[in-house]
Structure 1
Amino acid sequence: MKLFPIVTAILVCVALYFVVLDRATLLGFAGRFVPEPNNAPTQLAELPADTEAVEDDGRMNVIVRRSEAQVTENAVLLRGRTEALRLVDVAAETSGRVISTPIRAGAFVSEGQVMCEIDPGTSQTELEEAQARLAEAEARVPEARARLPEARAMLAQARAQLESAQIDGNAAARLNESGFASETRAASAAAATAAAEAGVESAAATVQGAEAGVQSALASVRSAEAQVTRAENAIEDLTIVAPFSGLLETDTAELGALLQPGTICATIIQLDPIKLVGFVPEAQVDRISLGATAGAQLASGREVQGEVTFVSRSADPQTRTFRVEITVPNVDLTIRDGQTADILIQTEGTPAHLLPSSAMTLSDDGQLGVRIVVDGVVEFAPVTMMRDTARGVWLSGLPQTADVITVGQEFVTAGVEVRTTLEELTQ
């Protein structure tokens, strides 16, 4: 074994001992070899009498920013989609074969333009037959009405005869009681009165029959008119037209295709104007009002602008959100149905403080806030984060002026006294 490495290790250990553990002895030993300058004072100068030692009072130093509230433009951010103003499947209301040339998908159709035309078949014949029945029913009405005056005249005559018979009967009865007329004459007068009453009842029944005949004739006219209307509607149903101006999403029914009631002729979509649909949480729905300006950025990068035209009064039972619709002009029809959109709805300005995000902290119960200093004492102030920017975060819920701790907020708690240093803000 060589002796030199062992000696070297021992010397290194001794040196490390004095350097690390007994530095004072090492410095004292080394100081004896340093020459003292001739002009070095022999003793320390005494401190001035008026110099007072600064005592540490135990309060922690923190850095605060004196923040003033500013009215900032606020907005509600939603993620939604575009939705066509109208999307309708135009279906047939009658059966028959298509006799019109189909219009291909993507074509623009105007309101009232023919999309599908069905073979009329016997529809025109049925209309003419219904019109003939109507004319026949209308011809019966004057005849029925003509019977009514005759029946009323007969009733008036029967009532006059009854009145005359009643007078004769009364006279015969009085003469019989006085002994100037026989009982036979009185009985004959009573029989004549009964016959006159029967005649009145018969005449009244005739009048009722004439009135019923008029009503029956009028009912026949109304029935015939209904048949004519049905025949006309059946002819109208043979031509299927566009209910509004828009684009065809599908081809119209092919020539020769058999359509049944409910069979789709074509699907038409209206894209001008178009709707932006989003769902706002219940915590923010009261901030949105009808007519508010809104903007959106589509997935393609295009930006559009419109206004709020609908805010739902009923929440979705699953998500507890409210439907919001924004109407946007789309004259060139370049915005499509179903595109994803990031929607920003403008709301009223709100006083807020612009602070660094690092100033935010959590309370013991997990509430978001910042720590402020009031009269040298730390307080926890709950805040609501409005939005994040490159310069910091906008927070609401603080007083108009607040000393917010920006450095050291994690080392103090509410109720602790601190010494504050104002933060120097640089642009």
Structure 2
Amino acid sequence: MSKTRILTVIVVVAAVVVWLLSGILTDSPSEAVVSLAEAKEIRDAEESAETGVLVRAKRSTAVQQDDTILLRGRIVDRNQATVPARTGGQVIARYVEIGDSVATGDVLCELDPEDRQALVDVAKDALDLAEKEFKSVTTLTERGFEQELDTARKKAQLSASKQALLAAEIELENTKITAPIDGIVDMVHANLGDYVSLGSPCATILVLDPVYAQGFVAEEHIVSLTLGSSATVTLPNGESRDGELSFISKKAEENSRTFRVEIELSNEDFSISSGMSANIEIVVDSTLAHQVPTSVALLDQDGSLGVKLVASNDVVEFRRVSIVREDPDGIWVSGLPERATIITVGQGLVVEGERVTVDFE
């Protein structure tokens, strides 16, 4: 075979091989791989459209929350009595010390009665004589042996004798200085052996049941207060006492333009002392509210505060809210339905009207 024929055969074979390879490369595996990736992406998009973005949410039920005014104040007492001597004399006994509890009628101090008992005895004898004389003259007058003027004179003497005995008994009783009210002895003024005159103080008694938590309210809040409103007073030791708003001043303080208010507190055990500092929380309104984490609250385009909910059809809904109060666990907000599904994670990734898939807490 000549060299020319051999070269021709080689060219023809090469052309056939190239043609065969071109068919295989045209239906390449790479095109098949791309088609599978596109199909998966399409399926994911379809599933996402059906199920929505995954968010975390919690089911919440509103509870009653109080809208309150917070004040810094102090405990005050409304009444105290400095008990005076009602006669003069030397103190022969003192039955109380500072801090003692006393009841009405308890003896605080006792003075030397001196001759007061003798004066009572004399007055009793005089009264006995006057009664006998009056009885005798009355009998004689009825029989016509005495004039009515004599009867009137004896009647006056009898009345005077009764008054004299009463005065002597009171004078003797006044040697015992008694408590006019229930309370706590805040101060003693008379010591054993002291001579006290009429009006000299024996002791000072504080009335500590009830006591009053006193604070001052800014003028913009005073219109929202009403007598009888519930209030809670927290004492320095952390103890809380419930009471009612018992006084609202009708006149503002000259310098601060604030109004004095008082909350009456029961203090039967005298455990609350006058002058203590107190934190006062007065209820001005009550509303249904949900507790949510602070991070849940968002601002809409108008700058209004709100949270995102999941409606019954799994669609995102934005609801404007108002903060009722704050505590260490978050904020309490009003403006939501009584029962709500609140988005707690992913709220920034979804918009109102978007369908979502919910993972409940």
Q: TM-score, normalising length from structure 2?
A: 0.57
The answer to whether the aligner puts 1:325 opposite 2:303 as a matched pair is no
Who is 1:116 aligned against? 109
CA contact (8 A) 1:140 1:217 kept: yes
**Most deviating of 97-106 and 134-143:** 97-106
Who is 2:188 aligned against? 251
CA contact (8 A) 2:318 2:352 kept: no
- Structure 1 residue 229: deviation in Å? 1.1
Matches within 5 A, 1:269-280: 269=206, 275=211, 277-278=213-214
The aligned amino acid for 1:390 is: P
Q: For 2:108 and 2:357, how far apart are their aligned partners in 1?
A: 74
Structure with a larger share of its residues in strand:
2
Q: For 1:362 and 1:263, how far apart are their aligned partners in 2?
A: 74
CA contact (8 A) 1:247 1:270 kept: yes
The aligned amino acid for 2:264 is: E
CA contact (8 A) 1:275 1:326 kept: yes
Q: CA RMSD in A?
A: 5.5
- Structure 1 residue 100: deviation in Å? 3.0
CA contact (8 A) 1:67 1:353 kept: no
In structure 1, the gaps of 5 or more residues are: 1-38, 52-62, 155-205, 408-416
- CA 1:383 to 1:98, structure 2 compared with 1: closer, same or farther past 3 Å? same
Who is 2:91 aligned against? 98
Secondary structure of 1:149's aligned partner: helix
Who is 1:142 aligned against? 135
- Structure 1 residue 253: deviation in Å? 0.4
Decide which of 249, 253, 263 is 1:316's aligned counterpart: 249
Matches within 5 A, 1:17-166: 70-72=62-64, 74=66, 76=68, 79-82=72-75, 87-100=80-93, 104-106=97-99, 113-150=106-143
CA contact (8 A) 1:117 1:238 kept: yes
Q: For 1:283 and 1:347, how far apart are their aligned partners in 2?
A: 6
Decide which of 262, 268, 274 is 2:199's aligned counterpart: 262
Q: Which structure's CA Rg is the greater one? A: 1
Q: For 2:328 and 2:167, how far apart are their aligned partners in 1?
A: 70
- CA 1:406 to 1:254, structure 2 compared with 1: closer, same or farther past 3 Å? same
- CA 1:214 to 1:406, structure 2 compared with 1: closer, same or farther past 3 Å? farther
- Structure 1 residue 73: deviation in Å? 5.1
CA deviation vs aligned residue, 1:61-97 (integer Å, no higher than 9, x gap): xx9x998651235485654444569743222122333
Q: For 1:362 and 1:121, how far apart are their aligned partners in 2?
A: 90
The aligned amino acid for 2:62 is: Q
Identical positions, percent: 26
Secondary structure of 2:170's aligned partner: helix
Q: TM-score, normalising length from structure 1?
A: 0.50
Who is 2:21 aligned against? none
Who is 1:393 aligned against? 331
- CA 1:216 to 1:68, structure 2 compared with 1: closer, same or farther past 3 Å? farther
The aligned amino acid for 1:88 is: A
CA deviation vs aligned residue, 1:172-221 (integer Å, no higher than 9, x gap): xxxxxxxxxxxxxxxxxxxxxxxxxxxxxxxxxx9xx62x6545543432
